Amino acid sequence: MPKPKVFVTRLIPEKGLELARQAADIEVWQDPLPPPREVLLEKVKGLDGLLCLLTDKIDATLMDAAGRQLKVISQMAVGYDNVDVAAATQRGIPIGNTPGVLTDTTADFAWTLLMSAARRVVEGDKFTRAGKWKTWGPIDFLGPDVSGATLGIVGFGRIGQGMAKRAAGFDMRVLYYDVQRYPIVEKSLNAEYVDLETLLRESDFVTLHTVLSPETHHLLNNSRFNLMKRSAIIINTARGPVIDPQALYRALSSGAIAYAALDVTEPEPIRMDDPLLTLDNIIIAPHIASASFQTRNKMATMAAANLSAGLTGERLPTCVNPEVYR
């Protein structure tokens, strides 16, 4: 019997590819950039499974282009706002993602951004390379203390909770806001549940860990930035569109807030003529929060496990639309 046919939309860590090869006849897109839409629509024709990334738009048109034999879509990411889950469910296609394995790595990176923004590491590096370091400066590169400050966590899922854990080591007061409350966890992490407005008013650092949905789209806008302390630092490792980029530019350039550190932007990649790139009080990383050797291996392995299960009709180990099994 011929092996099932699978397309992998980018080169992923070899461990994942090895597993996928055991389960299917795979074609891997070799270009460092994602397959263009029209190419992807061609490549999916007749597939049994698709292993995709957050850079691929997976919608009804693509599922229909693939055909009714498509058994599984496995995304190598925890977030899946690029996937039309309702369209997949309607067609009985399970969608896999990779939760859990990237929690610490992502929280570590959000913490890195927090510390780098507070202590102006990137500005300092640029200053050194530009040959401007002439002496030790008693009033140069001052930033706020992290220890003892108030951290506001928006979205208290696995990664948000990971931030609360890290904050404990820095003797911080921790506030959180989420659409749901976590009474047991909040107690164990010494975090206080508040509404979003209170969190924005009282926090020295605000870190975003929500999913992107119609409810969280441009959650941080002009009026919300105006609530924040003028000394506030915002960190975003969630999804770019959770922040209105024009409102962020206004807030940073007018001094309504002090600093931002982003791993995600709207759009991605950020356009080189985006006014945010003209500011000194912002750090912008290229969506790398989960990029550790170990974590990317685990994500690839998990994505391959979801793929294999889906190809044989078994329940995916981590399925975002388990309603397909009802």
Shortest CB 253 distance to ligand GLV, Å: 27
The residue annotated as part of the active site, out of 10, 209, 287, 296, is 287
Among positions 12, 62, 73, 77, the unique one binding ligand GLV when judged by CB under 6 A: 77
The residue type of 169 is G
Structure tokens at 203: 């926090």
Which residue, among 213, 210, 262, 209, has the nearest Cα to 233 in the 3D structure?
262
Shortest CB 73 distance to ligand GLV, Å: 15
Cα 35 to Cα 60: distance, rounded to the nearest angstrom: 18
Task: Tell me, yes or no, if 268 is annotated catalytic.
Answer: yes
CB nearer to ligand GLV: pick between 76 and 175:
76
Q: Does residue number 78 form part of the binding site for ligand GLV (CB under 6 A)? A: yes
Contact 48, 71 (CB under 8 A): yes
CB nearer to ligand GLV: pick between 106 and 150:
106
Q: Does residue number 79 form part of the binding site for ligand GLV (CB under 6 A)? A: yes
Task: Tell me, yes or no, if 287 is annotated catalytic.
Answer: yes
3-class DSSP state for residue 124? Answer: helix
Stretch of 37-45, 71-79, 171-179, 266-274 lying at the interface with ligand GLV (CB under 6 A): 71-79
The residue annotated as part of the active site, out of 224, 239, 266, 296, is 239
From edge to edge, which strands make up the β-sheet containing 72-75? Answer: 25-28, 5-8, 49-52, 72-75, 95-96
Burial class (CB in 10 A: 0-12, 13-18, 19+), 297: middle
Structure tokens at 131: 């040959």
Stretch of 73-81, 157-165, 272-280, 317-325 lying at the interface with ligand GLV (CB under 6 A): 73-81
Among positions 290, 301, 308, 321, the unique one binding ligand GLV when judged by CB under 6 A: 290
According to DSSP, residue 10 is labeled S
Q: Does residue number 9 form part of the binding site for ligand GLV (CB under 6 A)? A: no
Backbone angles phi, psi at 44, to 5 degrees: -80, -15
Task: Tell me, yes or no, if 123 is annotated catalytic.
Answer: no
Stretch of 72-80, 129-137, 140-148, 269-277 lying at the interface with ligand GLV (CB under 6 A): 72-80
CB nearer to ligand GLV: pick between 110 and 251:
110
Q: Does residue number 113 form part of the binding site for ligand GLV (CB under 6 A)? A: no
By annotation, the residues acting in catalysis are: 239, 268, 287
Question: Which residues in this chain contact ligand GLV in the complex, by CB under 6 A?
Answer: 54, 77-79, 102, 290
